């Protein structure tokens, strides 16, 4: 018997009676924090403010998903594996399977989106309005949720990976915890311990290929935090420039759901990415370098070669040890 995948976006099912991941009933009500307690406790985040997409301010511990008891074992198994690796540091994180990282990152990103949709629907219901979502965003979120169901059922990914996930060694200060995401492009970054992660959750690996030259230069060298943030700026911007909407062939069978990435190029001869504009990139990078106070004017002082802490004017890699800020 083929059990169909749960599709919450078909009817916008985001209530207290339905599990966020399986669609099963949630009686009695169970709530799970999106940011796991081992992170909020370690970094003292539980009561710290977190700004949602609609500019509403909540605290980390208030961001929750509704789940059914029958999936908790799978969720905890994944969380335990991630906690063990992340606590140990870069080498152990590098040893995780890409699918495990994808599942955990997607759980965070989708969990935040789920919380915002539930909050938004409740607010709109009180006001008598509906919620507006672009069709392309619904398409992406539906695919993300389908792929996230690999935590609780057998999902086989065939062909090109739907995602780009990269891990870098970073000499972060001990108390560092920095989370970012961008919903429209499903782009994510995390900086903690002695590592940083950049993920594009639905790009069919296109962004990694786009940045192949700079990634070859970086390799597995340890990065200064400002170098990692520069990479984040590059990936967040290129994810915005990607002008294709990824498509997937989904085949549900009795043993598994098979998902295959369709070629991004298709019949379109247009380049996958729109033209890179250094002026716009400088605006993006200014946000990522806010900690160090660099402005877009400084970053783009040379319009042909924006400021970089990864490579010098000759194109040589700048070692983290040589950077003094």
**Structural domain total, the chain:** 2
pLDDT at residue 123 in the model? 66
CA proximity to 177, closest of 196, 160, 192: 192
Please check whether residues 51 and 183 belong to one and the same domain. no
Block means of pLDDT (10 residues each) for the chain, 325 residues, are 86 91 90 96 96 88 94 96 98 98 98 91 54 85 97 95 98 95 97 98 97 97 98 98 96 94 84 96 98 96 94 93 92
Please check whether residues 149 and 168 belong to one and the same domain. no
Q: How far is CA 193 from CA 95, 107, 110, in A?
A: 16, 20, 23
Please check whether residues 289 and 148 belong to one and the same domain. no
Please check whether residues 21 and 69 belong to one and the same domain. yes
In this structure, the number of other CB atoms found within 10 A of the CB of residue 207 comes to 27
pLDDT tens readout for residues 106-138 = 999 999 999 999 888 766 644 444 556 789 999
- The residue from 153, 177, 209 where one domain ends is 153
Please check whether residues 145 and 163 belong to one and the same domain. no
CB 9 within 8 A of CB 138: yes
pLDDT at residue 56 in the model? 85
Sequence-ordered alpha helix ranges (H) in the chain: 37-42, 72-88, 90-94, 98-127, 135-148, 206-210, 212-218, 225-241, 278-288, 296-299
pLDDT tens readout for residues 29-62 = 899 999 999 999 999 999 999 988 878 899 999 9
pTM for the model = 0.95
Please check whether residues 197 and 83 belong to one and the same domain. no
Pairing between β-strand 64-66 and β-strand 248-252 as defined by DSSP bridges: unpaired
Element (H, E) at 164: strand 164-169
Expressed as residue numbers, the domain containing 86 is 7-153
pLDDT at residue 156 in the model? 96
pLDDT at residue 121 in the model? 76
pLDDT at residue 33 in the model? 96
Rounded to 5 degrees, what are φ and ψ at 24?
-75, 160
Please check whether residues 225 and 117 belong to one and the same domain. no
SS3 319: coil
Task: With respect to residue 243, please indicate whether it lies within any of the assigned structural domains.
Answer: yes
pLDDT at residue 1 in the model? 67
In sequence order, the 6+-apart residues with CB closer than 8 A to the CB of 53 are: 116, 183
pLDDT at residue 127 in the model? 43
Please check whether residues 126 and 252 belong to one and the same domain. no
11-19 contacts at long range (C-beta below 8 A, 24 or more positions apart): 12/117, 12/121, 12/131, 14/114, 14/117, 14/118, 14/121, 15/66, 15/118, 16/66, 18/66, 19/66, 19/67, 19/68, 19/71
């Amino acid at each position: 018997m083929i059990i169909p995948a749960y599709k919450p976006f078909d009817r916008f099912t985001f209530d207290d009676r339905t599990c966020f991941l399986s669609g099963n009933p949630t009686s009695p009500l169970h709530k799970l924090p999106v940011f796991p307690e081992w992170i909020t406790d370690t970094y003292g985040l539980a009561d710290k403010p977190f700004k949602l997409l609609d500019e509403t301010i909540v605290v980390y511990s208030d961001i929750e998903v509704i789940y059914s008891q029958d999936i908790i074992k799978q969720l905890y198994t994944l969380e335990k594996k991630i906690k063990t690796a992340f606590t140990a540091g870069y080498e152990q994180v590098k040893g995780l399977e890409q699918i495990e990282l994808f599942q955990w990152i997607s759980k965070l990103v989708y969990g935040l989106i789920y919380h915002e949709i539930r909050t938004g629907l409740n607010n709109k219901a009180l006001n008598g309005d509906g919620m507006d979502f672009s069709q392309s965003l619904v398409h992406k979120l539906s695919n993300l949720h389908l792929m996230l169901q690999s935590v609780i059922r057998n999902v086989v990914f065939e062909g090109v990976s739907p995602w780009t996930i990269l891990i870098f060694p970073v000499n972060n200060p001990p108390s560092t915890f920095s989370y970012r995401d961008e919903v429209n492009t499903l782009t994510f970054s995390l900086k903690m311990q002695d590592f940083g992660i950049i993920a594009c959750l639905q790009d069919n690996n296109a962004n990694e290929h786009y940045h192949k030259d700079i990634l070859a230069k970086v390799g597995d060298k340890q990065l200064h935090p400002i170098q990692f943030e520069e990479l984040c700026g590059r990936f967040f911007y290129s994810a915005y420039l990607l002008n294709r909407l990824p498509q997937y062939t989904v085949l549900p069978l009795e043993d598994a759901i098979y998902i295959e990435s369709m070629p991004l190029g298709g019949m379109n001869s247009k380049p996958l990415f729109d033209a890179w504009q250094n002026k716009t990139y400088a605006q993006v990078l200014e946000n990522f370098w806010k900690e160090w106070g660099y402005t877009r004017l400084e970053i783009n002082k040379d319009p042909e070669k924006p400021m970089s802490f990864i490579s010098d004017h000759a194109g040589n890699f700048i070692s983290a040890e040589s950077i003094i800020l």
